[in-house]
Each structure stands twice: as C-alpha cells, then as structure tokens.
C-alpha cells in the first residue's frame, strides 16, 4: 500500500481569526504546530476576497512551512502570480468561481484541456508539482492525463455524503477512478469532507493514494479533542495496516 500523507488545510483558522480581527488564532503558529504534531503538509486556498487566507498569510507561511506547502486556487492571473512568487511544493488547480463557498466540483478536463495544458506547463517549468481537482468521471480522468498534470485530487464530497448509507457503493467509483489514473501515470490525492468516520475505509479501498487534504473536519474535531490529538488520530487512520 502507498504511504498516504496528511496535509492540513488551515483555511478555517483564518476564517475564525478574520471574524474578530487581529491575529488570534495565529495562522502561522497553527501551521507550525500542525507540522510539529506530525502533519506532512499544509494546504491553503487564498480566495480573491481574502475571506479566510490572505495573500500576506501565504507569504508568512512560506517562511515557516518545512513540509509540503500546497496552494489551492482557481488559476487566474492573481493566483498564478502568487504561486510563481512563492514556489510551493504543489499547486492544486480548482475550477471555483470567485464567490463559491467551498470547492464542490471538479474540472471538465476535456472542455478546458487547452487552458489546463498551458497553465500546467507553465507551473511545471517552475519546478512546481501540479494537481487538478476532478470527480470520478473516467472521461475526466482520461483527459486529466492529457493535460500533463502530475496528480489529480479526487473530490470526495459524494463519497462522504453517501458513506453512512452504503460504504462499498459510495467508494466504488473512486476505486475505478484511482485504478485508471494510476494506469495513466497520474498521482492520486483526495479531499473534501474526509473525516475520522470515513477516512480509514477510504484509505483501505483506494490504491496508490498519495495524499489527503483535510481542513474542516480536523479543525472541528480539534475543538473537542485538541489539535495534537486530532492530527495524531488522522495519521493513525492513514497508517498501513
């Protein structure tokens, strides 16, 4: 089985800070603590309205993150300029319009093939690993490979929504997508609503799972369990058994 890394999305920390102003909680300190507690990556998604992670946060985090820094976003010029300056380990491209609440759909990789090819080529030329957000439609997986991207990130919202009713049925399309993606030479990431309840099952079923990006569930669980304990629990679920 592939070792699966945990990247902690700290957007929610910034949301809480911004709701009051000032610098409490401290986004940079939380990122440092997440790494100290065992997280193998830090993820942020700086949106145009800066409603959570700000541009300054990204610069501040670049100075302290020692694991893999992953910057998500819609690849407009604002995002591409920021990524070019920061040079994170990974750039994850999402098809979000500016006002969307959270990433809830993957790319139509055939429709946007030329745009994605050009964008990904530019990022890879800078030494940045690339990933694109996709659903489990095998057609989108096929065309994802044509973009030249290094990895895909499977949008796991539908899996999480249906997990409690029928876990095997909920994960089936993801298994098929992962098998196809691996066969096409793509690395496999996953994210959205993965939790303490469903993560172990997902990890056990999905072959070649390189990384999961989890934010909302981790920060919510930390309110009850503490951040260190929460991260340790998620890491335990990802360990090979």
Which residues participate in catalysis according to the annotation?
Answer: 45, 72, 192
List the structure tokens of 84.
């070019």
List the structure tokens of 209.
């799972």
């Amino acid at each position: 089985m592939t070792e699966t890394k945990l990247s902690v999305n700290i957007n929610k920390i910034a949301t809480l800070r911004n709701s009051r102003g000032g610098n409490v909680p401290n986004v940079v300190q939380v990122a440092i603590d997440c790494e100290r507690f065992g997280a193998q990556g830090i993820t942020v998604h700086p949106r145009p309205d800066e409603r959570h992670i700000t541009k300054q946060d990204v610069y501040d985090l670049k100075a302290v993150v020692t694991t893999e820094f992953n910057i998500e976003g819609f690849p407009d010029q604002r995002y591409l300029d920021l990524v070019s300056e920061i040079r994170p380990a990974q750039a994850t491209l999402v098809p979000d319009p500016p006002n969307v609440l959270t990433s809830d759909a993957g790319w139509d990789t055939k429709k946007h093939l030329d745009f994605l090819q050009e964008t990904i080529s530019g990022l890879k030329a800078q030494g940045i690993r690339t990933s694109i957000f996709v659903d489990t439609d095998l057609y989108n997986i096929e065309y994802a490979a044509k973009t030249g991207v290094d990895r895909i990130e499977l949008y796991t919202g539908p899996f999480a929504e249906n997990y409690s009713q029928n876990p095997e049925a909920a994960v089936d399309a993801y298994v098929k997508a992962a098998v196809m993606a691996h066969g096409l030479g793509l690395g496999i990431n996953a994210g959205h609503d993965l939790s303490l309840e469903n993560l172990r099952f997902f990890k056990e079923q999905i072959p070649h799972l390189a990384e999961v990006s989890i934010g909302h569930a981790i920060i919510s669980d930390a309110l009850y369990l503490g951040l260190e304990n929460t991260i340790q629990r998620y890491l335990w679920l990802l360990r090979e058994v």
